[in-house]
Amino acid sequence: MSRSLRPLLATAVIFAIAYGLSVMQFPGMFSTRVLGNFLTDNAFLGITAVGMTFVILSGGIDLSVGAVIGFTGVLVAVLISWMGLHPLVAFAIALIVAAVFGGLMGLAIHALEVPSFIVTLAGMFLARGGASVITQDSVPINHPFYDWISDLLIRLPGGGRLSFIGLLMIAVFVVGALVAHRTRFGSYVYALGGNTVSASLMGVPVARTTVAVYMLSSVLAALAGIVFSLYTSAGYPLAAVGVELDAISAVVIGGTLLAGGYGFVLGTFIGVMLLGLVQTYIIFDGTLSSWWTKIVIGVLLFLFIVLQRLIFAASAPGEKVAEKA
Amino acid sequence: MSETGYVLEARGVVKVFGNHVALDKVNFGLMPGEVHALLGENGAGKSTLIKVLTGAYQPDGGEVLVESQPVTLNNPQHAQTYGIGTVYQEVNLLPNRSVAENLYLGHQPTRYGFVDRRRMERDARTVLARYGLDLDPGSELGTHSVAVQQIVAIARAVELSGKVLILDEPTASLDRNEVERLFDVVRSLKAQGLAVVFITHFLDQVFAIADRVTVLRNGRLIETRALTDVTRTDVVRLMLGKDISFSGATALEEARPAGEVLLDFRNYGRKRSVHPFNLTIHKGEVIGVAGLLGSGRTEMARIMFGADPADEGEVRVAGQKTAIDNPTDAISRGFGFCPEDRKAEGIFGELSVRENIVIALQGKLGWFSALNRDEQMEIAGRFGEAMDIRAASLDMPVKLLSGGNQQKVILSRWLATDPAFLILDEPTRGIDVGAHAEIVRTINRLRDEGLALVVISSELDEVVAYSSRIVVMRDREMVAELHGENINPGVIVQAIASNQTGASA
C-alpha cells in the first residue's frame, strides 16, 4: 500500500508548504474566516470531485459532471421559481433525474463497450444542451427555504463561518471515503480499475458496479448543482463550465492514478483544498490575474503526473501498472 | 441419477463459434478426490470446455451437471456457488489490491456493512500459512512474484469453492521447486476429497500428479483413461492422433564447425538488471539460455535487443563496435526478438495476421516506403505457408489464432526482415506438443541456414535438443557456459542449483 500512499503524502506536504508560505506572506490567510470560506467556496467542486474519484478509480472518466451541475441548477430553479414546487421536492426530482442519466451512461459504457470518455462527452453535450433549451437566462431563486439554509451555519471563534454547504461537502467526503475504502462496493471499484478481466473472473459484478459508479458521479454532480444553486441563489445554463476538468485535476493532484486502481478519497479532498488555496492566494495578492490559477493548476498537474510515473515505474514488480499509466 | 458419482459432469456439450465447432458432443466426468488431467493440442477445445464448466460460456447443446443435477451456470461467480473454482494460466487477480483482498474479494467479512479488514487479514494469514506462504496479507499483491500470486489464486479458488478446482496451466510460469510446492498443495486438497482438473502441456507433470486423463482433439473427446494403464507414448498418440518420435537427436550437430563471429558482447550489462556478461555468438549457432524464472534470462534478452539499453560494456557486430540503445538500432543490424509474453509484447491482437507479419519489415523500411497491400499479401502468404500458419484467412485478427500459430506469426514477422540474429524468449511456452515440435524444427532449420539464435527456455530437454552451447543464468548473472557433452539436463540442473540461494519467491 505504501506505493499508493506516496502521491497522497506528496500532496499533503505540498499543501502544507504552500499554505505555510502563503500565511507568511499574508498572515490574514491563517484565520477561521478564510478556512470557512475555503470550504464554502469549493463545496460544489469538492462534492463533484468525490464522484469523479470513484469514476477514475474504476478506470474511467466522467466529462459530463460540469454540464450536470449546470442542468441541475436550471432544473431546480425552474421547478422552484416557475412551477412553485418546494425546494426539497425539486432537489429530489433533480437527484432522481441525475441518477437515471448517470445510470444510462454507465449502462452504455458497459453494454456497448464504448470508452467512458466518449459516452460522457455525449452526456456533457446532452446535459448542457438540455439546460440551455429550458432557458437561456439565469433564473433567480427566491424562496424562504433558501434563505433559511444560507443562515444555517456554525460560527467559529475568529469570525469564521462553517456554512451548511461546506459541512455537506465534508460529509460527502467522509461518506465517500467510507464507501471507497471500507465497503465491498468500494473494493469492486478498485478492482475494475486494476483489471476488468480479472475482476469479472473473480466474480465482481462488473455491469452493476459500472452503472453504480456513473450513477454515483451524476448524483453527486447534481448534489453539487444544488449546492451551487444555494451558493448563487440562481440557476444558469452555462454555470460550472469546465468544472469537470477542475474535478479531474483535483483527483489527480490528490494522488489518484489517472489509469485507475490506486488512490484515496481523502487525497481528493487535499487536492480540492490545494486548488482553493491557489485561488485564495491570488485573491489576497490582488494584482495577479485570476488566470494564474490555471497556470498553477497546470504546473501542479504536470508535476503530479510525473511523480506518479516515477513512483509506479520505480517499484519493479508493478510494471504492468506503470505500462497502463 | 447419482449412480455416476461425478461431482461435475459435462454431457454431450456442444459449443459453436460462428461456423467453427469448438466442442462437439463432449462428455467429461469428474470424481471427487481425483486429479483429472485434461490434455489436447492448442485449439483442441480444452479452454472452451473449461469455460463451459465454469459458466464463462453457455453450451449450445448438451448439459452440465453438478452432483448429477443439471444446472445452468450463468457466470464464473455462479459456478462458484456450486463449488467450482478456477485458476487460470495468467494470474487473474488484482495487482493493485492487497493479498487479503485478493483472497476474499466479493466475500470480505463485513461488520455493520463495512469490510472488517482486521479480521480479513487475520483469516488471510491463516489461509496463506496452509499454503506455505508467510507474507503480510496487507501488502500489495503486485509486489510479489508471479509464483506467489499463482498460489494466492489457488488459495482463493479453494477457499471460495471447495468441491472442484480447475487449474488451467497453473505451472506455466513456475519453476521446479514451486511446481513441487504446488503439487503438495494439490495432493493435500485431493486427500480432502476435492476434485481437481489439471490442464498442462507438461506430460511429466501429468504423470506425476494425475489419476485419470481425458484427451481432446479438434473439439472432440478422444478418450478418458486411468493413468495407471497408459504410457506416455499412448497419451501423445491420443493427443496428436498419430505417432511421433520424441528423440532429441542432436549429438550429430556437435561436430559442426562454428561459423564466423557475428556478435561479441563484452562486459555487457545493466545495473539492477543483469550483471555484465561476456558472450560470443557465431553464425549458425544456437545459444540456449537456461535458468530459473527471475534468474535474468529475459532481462539479458532485452538488453541484447536494446529494449532495455545496457549501461556497461560494449558490443561488436561482425567485428564493428556499435551501440544498441533501442530496438530500432537492433533491428537495423538484423536482430529480431520474440518476447516471452506473446499476448502483451508480441502480437497486435486486433490486427490481421498479414499486418502482424509485415509490421517489423515495414518498421525497418521506414515511413516513406510503405508496402502496398499486394506486397503485404505476398510476404504474409509466403511466410504463412513456410511456417505452416493455420489461419482461416491472412486477414483475420491474430488474437483468434491459437498460441502456437501466434508464435509462428511472430517468428514470420522477424524472418520477413531477413535477420542475422534472433532472440527467442520461451518460444514454446503454452504451446501444444505438435506446434512445439514444429517450433523446435524451425529453430534447427534457421540454424542450418546460418542464423545465430539465442533461445531462452525453461524446458531443459528442449534446450538440450537444439543448442550448440548453453549459458546458465542464476541470480541475474551468467554463471556457466556449457559445451559439448556438458550439454545435458543433469549438468544444467547442477549449474543452476550449485550454491542456490532460494528461488524467486
pLDDT tens, position by position, B479-495? 888 887 778 777 777 77
Q: Does B342 touch chain A (CB under 8 A)?
A: no
Of B84, B96, B110, B270, which to mutate for an interface test with A (greatest number of A Cβ within 10 Å)?
B96
CA B389 to chain centre: 19
Averaged pLDDT, B203-225: 86
Helix H or strand E segment including B469: strand B469-474
Nearest to A205 by CA among A299, A131, A110: A110
Nearest CA in chain B to A5: B140
The overall pTM is greater than 0.80: no
Contact B37, B14 (CB under 8 A): no
**B253, pLDDT greater than 80:** no
Averaged pLDDT, B143-171: 84
pLDDT band at B257 (very low <50, low <70, confident <90, very high): low
pLDDT digits (tens, 9 = 90+) for B360-389: 888 888 778 888 888 888 888 888 888 888
Backbone angles phi, psi at B333, to 5 degrees: -100, 10
pLDDT digits (tens, 9 = 90+) for B179-201: 888 888 888 889 888 999 998 76
DSSP string, A270-296: HHHHHHHHHHHHHHHH-SS-TTHHHHH
- List chain A residues with CB under 8 Å of B119: none
pLDDT band at B41 (very low <50, low <70, confident <90, very high): low
Q: Under 8 Å CB-to-CB from B10, ≥6 apart: which residues?
A: B26, B27, B28, B29, B49, B52, B53, B59, B62, B63, B64, B65
- List chain B residues with CB under 8 Å of A325: none
SS3 string, B130-191, reads HCCCCCCCCCEHHHCCHHHHHHHHHHHHHHHCCCEEEEECCCCCCCHHHHHHHHHHHHHHHH
Which residue has 548473472 as its cell numbers? B477
Alpha-carbon gap: A212 to the closest alpha carbon of chain B (Å): 16
Backbone angles phi, psi at B280, to 5 degrees: -110, 130
**A166, pLDDT greater than 60:** yes
Backbone angles phi, psi at A30, to 5 degrees: -95, 80
Q: B321's torsion region: left (phi>0), alpha (psi -120 to 50) or beta? A: beta
**A57, pLDDT greater than 80:** yes
Nearest to B197 by CA among B184, B209, B179: B209
> Pairing state of beta strands A153-155 and A161-163?
antiparallel
Which of B460 and B464 is assigned the larger pLDDT? Answer: B464
Contact B443, B455 (CB under 8 A): yes
For residue A219, CA distances in Å to A92, A227, A240 come to 11, 12, 16
Which residue has 539464435 as its cell numbers? B453
Averaged pLDDT, A183-190: 94
**B95, pLDDT greater than 90:** no
**Sheet strands side by side (includes B421-425):** B335-338, B421-425, B452-456, B285-290, B469-474, B477-482
State whether A194 and B97 contact (CB < 8 Å).
yes
Averaged pLDDT, B339-361: 85
Q: Domain range holding A314?
A: 2-324
- List chain B residues with CB under 8 Å of A194: 94-97
Which one-letter amino acid corresponds to residue B285? E
Nearest to B215 by CA among B58, B34, B26: B26
Instruction: Give the count of domains, chain A.
Output: 1
- List chain B residues with CB under 8 Å of A3: 140, 143
Q: Which residues pair with A155 in a beta bridge?
A: A161
pLDDT digits (tens, 9 = 90+) for B266-275: 999 888 788 8
State whether A198 and B93 contact (CB < 8 Å).
yes
**B431, pLDDT greater than 90:** no
Helix H or strand E segment including B313: strand B312-317
Chain A residues touching chain B at CB-CB below 8 Å: 1, 3-4, 178, 182-184, 186-188, 190-191, 193-195, 197-205, 261-262, 315, 317-318, 320-321
Averaged pLDDT, B248-252: 42
Angle subtended by helix axes A144-151 and A87-111, to nearest 10: 80
State whether B92 and A318 contact (CB < 8 Å).
no
Instruction: For B2-96+140-240, give the CATH class.
Output: alpha beta
Nearest to B476 by CA among B270, B288, B257, B280: B270
How many residues make up chain B in this entry?
505
Q: Is B377 exposed, middle or buried (0-12, 13-18, 19+ CB in 10 A)?
A: middle
pLDDT band at A320 (very low <50, low <70, confident <90, very high): very low
Alpha-carbon gap: A321 to the closest alpha carbon of chain B (Å): 8
pLDDT band at B3 (very low <50, low <70, confident <90, very high): low
Q: Does B405 touch chain A (CB under 8 A)?
A: no
Averaged pLDDT, B222-242: 77
When the candidates are 3.30.1490.150, 3.40.50.720, 3.60.15.10, 3.40.50.300, the CATH number that belongs to B260-334+419-435+446-499 is 3.40.50.300
**A93, pLDDT greater than 80:** yes
Q: Does B109 touch chain A (CB under 8 A)?
A: no
Nearest to A210 by CA among A230, A227, A193: A193
Angle subtended by helix axes B373-386 and B353-365, to nearest 10: 110
Alpha-carbon gap: A151 to the closest alpha carbon of chain B (Å): 35
Q: What distance in Å separates the CA atoms of residue A215 and residue B294, rounded to the nearest whole number?
A: 44
**B293, pLDDT greater than 70:** no
Angle subtended by helix axes A32-57 and A206-232, to nearest 10: 150
pLDDT band at B250 (very low <50, low <70, confident <90, very high): very low
- List chain A residues with CB under 8 Å of B110: 183-184
Contact B195, B204 (CB under 8 A): no
Q: Does B349 touch chain A (CB under 8 A)?
A: no
Q: What distance in Å separates the CA atoms of residue A71 and residue A235, rounded to the nearest whole number?
A: 8
Which of B437 and B2 is assigned the larger pLDDT? Answer: B437
User: Side-chain half-sphere of B204: how many Cα atoms within 13 Å?
Assistant: 9
Averaged pLDDT, A194-199: 88
State whether B114 and A178 contact (CB < 8 Å).
yes
State whether A198 and B108 contact (CB < 8 Å).
no
**B430, pLDDT greater than 80:** no
Report the share of chain B in percent with pLDDT over 90. 12
Alpha-helical regions (H) of B192-287:
203-209, 232-240
**B313, pLDDT greater than 70:** yes
Averaged pLDDT, A162-174: 94
Q: Is A279 exposed, middle or buried (0-12, 13-18, 19+ CB in 10 A)?
A: middle
**Sheet strands side by side (includes B212-217):** B84-87, B164-168, B195-199, B35-39, B212-217, B220-226
Helix H or strand E segment including A35: helix A32-57
Which of A94 and A286 is assigned the larger pLDDT? Answer: A94
Sign of the CA dihedral with A180 first, then A181, A182, and A183 last: positive
ipTM of this predicted structure: 0.82
Averaged pLDDT, A202-207: 87
Q: What distance in Å separates the CA atoms of residue A294 and residue A246, rounded to the nearest whole number?
A: 9
Return the pLDDT at B1: 44
Of A182, A258, A320, which to mutate for an interface test with B (greatest number of B Cβ within 10 Å)?
A182
Q: Angle at the Cα of A74 (from A68 to A77), degrees rounded to 5? A: 135
Return the pLDDT at B151: 84
**B218, pLDDT greater than 90:** no
Map residue A161 onto helix, strand or coil. strand
**A171, pLDDT greater than 90:** yes
CATH of residue A145: 1.10.3470
In total, the C-beta contacts within 8 angstroms joining chain A to chain B are: 88
Q: B473's torsion region: left (phi>0), alpha (psi -120 to 50) or beta? A: beta
**A322, pLDDT greater than 50:** no
Return the pLDDT at B500: 40
Alpha-carbon gap: B200 to the closest alpha carbon of chain A (Å): 20
Closest to A203 (Cβ–Cβ): which among B77, B94, B139?
A: B77
**B19, pLDDT greater than 90:** no
Q: Does B80 touch chain A (CB under 8 A)?
A: yes
Q: Does B270 touch chain A (CB under 8 A)?
A: no
pLDDT band at B240 (very low <50, low <70, confident <90, very high): low
Q: What distance in Å separates the CA atoms of residue B53 and residue B65, rounded to the nearest whole number?
A: 9
pLDDT band at B246 (very low <50, low <70, confident <90, very high): very low
Which of B56 and B259 is assigned the larger pLDDT? Answer: B56
Backbone angles phi, psi at A25, to 5 degrees: -80, -45
- List chain A residues with CB under 8 Å of B113: 183
Q: Does B93 touch chain A (CB under 8 A)?
A: yes
Contact B248, B272 (CB under 8 A): no
**A325, pLDDT greater than 70:** no
Closest to B92 (Cβ–Cβ): which among A193, A198, A320?
A: A198
pLDDT digits (tens, 9 = 90+) for B64-78: 999 888 999 888 778
Q: What distance in Å separates the CA atoms of residue B66 and residue B459, rounded to the nearest whole number?
A: 37
- List chain B residues with CB under 8 Å of A262: 96
Give the burial string for A90-118 (b: 16+ CB within 10 Å, else e).
Answer: bbebbbebbbebbbbbbbbbbeeeeebee
Contact B300, B386 (CB under 8 A): no
Which one-letter amino acid corresponds to residue A305? I
Q: Does B138 touch chain A (CB under 8 A)?
A: yes
Return the pLDDT at B497: 63
